[in-house]
Amino acid sequence: MAQDRLSILGMTFHAHHGLEDHEIANGQRFEVDVEMMLDTSKAVASDLLSDTVDVRQVYREIEKIVVNQRFYLIETMSQKAADVLLSKFDIEQVTIRVRKPLAPLGGLANGTQIEITRARE
The residue segments making up the domain with residue 97 are: 4-119
Instruction: Kindly report the CATH number assigned to the domain that includes residue 38.
Output: 3.30.1130.10
pLDDT for residue 88: 97
At residue 53 the predicted structure's pLDDT band, cuts being 50, 70 and 90, is very high
Which amino acids are annotated catalytic? Answer: 100
User: Is residue 4 a contact partner of residue 39, using CB atoms and an 8 Å limit?
Assistant: yes
User: Is residue 73 a contact partner of residue 62, using CB atoms and an 8 Å limit?
Assistant: no
Within 10 A of 37 (CB to CB), how many other CB atoms are there? Answer: 17
At residue 1 the predicted structure's pLDDT band, cuts being 50, 70 and 90, is low
At residue 2 the predicted structure's pLDDT band, cuts being 50, 70 and 90, is low
Its pTM surpasses 0.85: yes
Q: How many domains does the chain have?
A: 1
Q: Which residues touch 18 (CB under 8 Å, ≥6 apart)? A: 24, 28, 72, 100, 103, 104
Tens digits of per-residue pLDDT, 84-108? 999 999 999 999 999 999 888 888 8
User: Is residue 86 a contact partner of residue 40, using CB atoms and an 8 Å limit?
Assistant: no
